[in-house]
Structure 1
């Protein structure tokens, strides 16, 4: 169940067999790395909408440190 959606343009794709990493520039010019199960049919330059559950995502700052999750 998605409760959040981000949109952007794919600038790199890493296909690793059982999983795929998408590297996306968002509409706000922020870099986003998306880990997806399976081999996704996505190419560099594609515009994508990424739906996700905020409970199941991990956010990191520019230094690679994870942001703490806030209790609801």
Structure 2
């Protein structure tokens, strides 16, 4: 998995806290890149036009949580 944002609390970071932080990252990219939502350009970590470690981390975490919560029905 990608880098986990640093949190200034003493307890270990829970998945719920990580998911909340990921939502904030996704929201930042949605609201700040209106011409191309969900693209790089929404935060200070964005590097170039196609590279943002925070956005990559948020998308990967969201996909991981979705895979756990919405298992394939067979």
Shorter-chain TM-score category?
under 0.3
Q: Compute the TM-score of the two structures, normalised by the length of structure 2.
A: 0.24
Bigger radius of gyration among the two: 2
More helix by percentage? 2
More strand by percentage? 1
